[in-house]
Amino acid sequence: MTLPLILQASVEEALANGTPVVALESTIITHGMPYPQNVEMARAVEDTIRAGGAVPATIAIMNGAIHIGLDDEDLEILGQTPDAMKLSRADLAVGITSGRVGATTVAATMICAQLAGIDVFATGGIGGVHRGAETSFDISADLPELGQTAVTVVAAGAKAILDLPKTFEVLETMGVPVIAYGQDELPAFWSRQSGLKAPLRMDTAAQIANAHVMRGLLGLPGGQLVANPIPEEHEIAQTEIGPAIEAALRDAEDQGIAAKEVTPFLLDRIFTLTEGRSLRSNIELVLNNARLAAEIAGEIARLR
Ligand code: PSU
Ligand code: MN
């Protein structure tokens, strides 16, 4: 038995030539956004990465293999498979051997990106420590993954549905550099401000690329989290998104939502409560992260 890793031709060629490549996840497509906006977002993100001079590699599990780079038809299938598995480190292997369609979370995408030799990955927001984790123990596998897999992840921070102070404490414990891009404060996904000072700040893609390569030279396992604030014109103020988050959390509690379902449930409720505004912001912040990720991948390619 050999590792079923299938690289799309454009990705294989780019990796062989040292052309920058940016990995993209698929859970955001299957569990993070409704159809058809999810597929439209996936295509727009890929176009943004191409415009930034890099090759996009959306990662998903299909037909018993890890696919690094999907074509238009694959994206459409993913976007329209409502029962796709949401795969993280724990169930990635089972997902592959099952033969079913599986979407990769931040954690699983990092694992697959590293297998393929991709340094940079763009997404919306990472998973983290859920509110009430002191009783539920619900802490996303994304956090320990950042502590052990050497991929730089560009996100708009952690999703604001989480307990952000606890999330950043755990990242510090795991030895993950958390880098705010262009501001002193950590962003909070739909909003630019979180009230939390960032442990690190960088203002250029070159600085982030240098730090990524230096971690490799030091032999340190684990990646970097780049917290890239959503552009001002697309943000939702804390005062507006806050009550929607609170209401969604109450609904989740009332309905006994737990484990893997929590994040998709909350995103969907907030979408309804904000009459679609949260989705529009989510799409814009992913595009913004794709732009920065392409730049960082370009700088890393230059250094190598
Ligand atoms: N970013 C988004 N929307 C999403 C996600 C990220 O804008 O839906 C997904 C990622 O795949 C992330 C997952 O890994 O949410 C977190 O899930 P959990 O909290 O169950 O670990
Ligand atoms: Mn969880």
What percent of the chain clears pLDDT 90, i.e. is strictly above it?
99
218 contact partners, CB below 8 Å, separation of at least 6: none
Asked if the model's pLDDT at residue 221 lies above 90, the reply is yes
Q: How buried is 245 (Cβ within 10 angstroms: 0-12 exposed, 13-18 middle, 19+ buried)?
A: buried
**Active-site residue, 166 included:** no
Atom of ligand 1 nearest to the CA of 155: 1
Q: Any idea of the CA torsion for 196, 200, 204, 208, to the nearest 10 degrees? A: -130
Residue of 125, 115, 139, 117 lying closest to 61 (CA atoms): 115
Stretch 83-97: mean pLDDT, rounded?
Answer: 98
**What average pLDDT is seen over the chain?**
97
Instruction: Return d(Cα 259, Cα 5) in angstroms, integer.
Output: 28
Res 82: pLDDT: 87
What token pair was written down for 147? 């502590």
The answer to whether the beta carbons of residues 92 and 109 sit under 8 Å apart is no
Asked if the model's pLDDT at residue 19 lies above 90, the reply is yes
Nearest to 28 by CA among 13, 17, 39: 39
For the chain, report the end-to-end CA distance as a whole number of angstroms. Answer: 33
pLDDT at 18: 97
Counting ligand 1 atoms within 8 A of each CB, the residue from 110, 159, 282 with the most, and so the one to mutate, is 159
Dump pLDDT digits (tens) for 119-176. Answer: 999 999 999 999 999 999 999 999 999 999 999 999 999 999 999 999 999 999 999 9
CATH architecture assignment, domain 5-303: 3-Layer(aba) Sandwich (3.40)
Neighbours of 279 (CB within 10 A): 21
**Rounded CA separation 56/219 (Å):** 27
CA-proximal residue: ligand 1, atom 5 (nearest):
28
pLDDT in tens, 231-261: 999 999 999 999 999 999 999 999 999 999 9
Question: Which one from 86, 145, 159, 295 is the annotated catalytic residue?
Answer: 159
Query: Interhelix angle for 72-79 vs 37-51, to 10°?
Result: 150
Look up 159 and say whether it is catalytic: yes
